[in-house]
Amino acid sequence: MKLLVTRRMTPAAEKALAARFDCDFQDVTAGLTPQEARQALADYDLILPTLGDRFTAEAFEGPIRCQFVANFGAGYNHIDVKAAAAAGVPVSNTPGAVTDSTADIALTLILMVARRAGEGERLLRAGAWTGWQPTQLLGTHVSGKTVGIIGMGRIGKAIAQRCHFGFGMRVIFFNRSPVSALGFPAEQIDDLHDMLAQADFAVVAVPGGAETRHLIGAAEMARLGPQGYLINIARGDVVEEAALIAALAERKIAGVGLDVFEREPIVPEALRAFENAVLLPHLGTAAEEVRTSMGMMALDNLIAFAEGRAAPNRVN
């Protein structure tokens, strides 16, 4: 079967994919446009896409040869999975493989923004460090503070674990359905605004898509308050970027740590200008082993489909 892999993968993942399927590895950095996605659906039996490839409803409107789309990544908001199902194309993702590394990046952002690490490094690299001072670059102590997690799924739980066991933090969370048996103390709060008002660090870990678009806007940042930090490792458009820029300018929140942006790879100049904004280029899963595991998981789904078995991570 002919498989389109829309980006280059790790050598181990490419080797495993090429051993099983007739692969075209696209050596590009830009994602597929809806027109290119439509062409790919017409030309290939199988597709392994990733975020940035725009498999919109329009992409599924043309003639379709493709029988299975195995997304490389946990988030699949770039694929219209309802349109895919209507066109008879099953879609899978790679949950679990991404969990620990993405939780680690959330903790990286919490620590960097609270302890002003980016700001300190910029100062040092600029040759402006004059030596240790008792009152220089004073940040916020993370241990013992309250973390409020929005979306207590796989990644949310892994973040909560790290915060509880690693930093002795109080854990509170908001989730659309009840969550139990976490194995450590954590309080579910059903009102997002109430939860934000209690949080020192609010961490966004919900899936992207129409339901969560701009879930965090001006009103939510006002609830977090001038001592509160906002962290987003989920999808950029869950946080209303214009409202975030206004909140930072008006000092309505203490700072922000972002791994994701509304219009990646565009990061507004206004956002880049804030010293209290830590900005990472979507590094959540950027570790060799993790990207290989993601590739292997996508491959497992493709093999299951090709052998007539149920794909383990089907989402539609």
Ligand X SMILES: NC(=O)C1=CN([C@@H]2O[C@H](COP(=O)(O)OP(=O)(O)OC[C@H]3O[C@@H](n4cnc5c(N)ncnc54)[C@H](O)[C@@H]3O)[C@@H](O)[C@H]2O)C=CC1
**Which tokens sit at 122?**
């910029």
236 touches ligand LL5AMS7Z by CB under 6 A: no
- Number of Cβ within a 10 Å radius of residue 266: 10
Burial string for 10-42 (b: 16+ CB within 10 Å, else e) reads: beebbebbeeebebebbeeeebbebebbbebbe
Residues 90-119 interacting with ligand LL5AMS7Z (rule: CB under 6 A): 98
Residues 224-263 interacting with ligand X (rule: CB under 6 A): 233-235, 259-260
Helices (H) and strands (E) counted in the chain, each on its own, are 12, 12
Is the bond into 281 cis (omega within 30 degrees of 0)? no
Query: Of 220, 235, 241, 262, which residue is the catalytic one?
Result: 235
- Of the pair 141, 263, the CB lying nearest ligand LL5AMS7Z is at 263
Query: Of 38, 116, 162, 282, which residue is the catalytic one?
Result: 282
* Residue 182: CB minimum distance to ligand LL5AMS7Z, A: 22
* Residue 307: CB minimum distance to ligand LL5AMS7Z, A: 25
CA pseudo-torsion sign 53, 45, 294, 21 = negative
Residues 192-211 interacting with ligand X (rule: CB under 6 A): 205-208, 211
Q: What is the per-residue binding string for ligand X in 73-102, x denoting contact by CB under 6 A?
A: -xx-------------------x--xx--x
Please identify which residue in 78, 145, 223, 282 interacts with ligand X, judged by CB under 6 A: 282
Phi, psi of 239 (to 5 degrees): -105, 130
Distance CA 163, CA 200 (A): 12
Query: Of 14, 170, 264, 314, which residue is the catalytic one?
Result: 264
239 touches ligand LL5AMS7Z by CB under 6 A: no
48 touches ligand X by CB under 6 A: no
For residue 163, give the 3-state DSSP assignment.
Answer: helix
213 classed as catalytic = no
Q: CA distances (Å), 78 to each of 57, 117, 181, 234, 310, in order?
A: 10, 33, 32, 13, 23
282 classed as catalytic = yes
Residue 242 burial (10 A CB sphere; 0-12, 13-18, 19+): middle
Contact range with ligand LL5AMS7Z by CB under 6 A, out of 69-77, 171-179, 242-250, 298-306: 69-77
* 255 CA to centre of own chain: 19
When CB distances are held under 5 to 8 angstroms depending on the partner's kind, the choice from ligand LL5AMS7Z, ligand X, none that residue 51 binds is: ligand LL5AMS7Z
Please identify which residue in 74, 113, 160, 224 interacts with ligand LL5AMS7Z, judged by CB under 6 A: 74
307 classed as catalytic = no
Q: What is the per-residue binding string for ligand X in 150-169, x denoting contact by CB under 6 A?
A: -xxxxxx-------------
Contact 61, 79 (CB under 8 A): no
When CB distances are held under 5 to 8 angstroms depending on the partner's kind, the choice from ligand X, ligand LL5AMS7Z, none that residue 208 binds is: ligand X
73 touches ligand LL5AMS7Z by CB under 6 A: yes
* Residue 283: CB minimum distance to ligand X, A: 7
List, in order, residues 6 or more apart from 210 with CB less than 8 Å away.
none
* 87 CA to centre of own chain: 27
Contact 76, 91 (CB under 8 A): yes
Which residues in this chain contact ligand LL5AMS7Z in the complex, by CB under 6 A?
Answer: 51, 73-75, 98, 284-285
Which residues in this chain contact ligand X in the complex, by CB under 6 A?
Answer: 74-75, 95, 98-99, 102, 151-156, 174-177, 205-208, 211-212, 233-235, 259-260, 282, 284-285
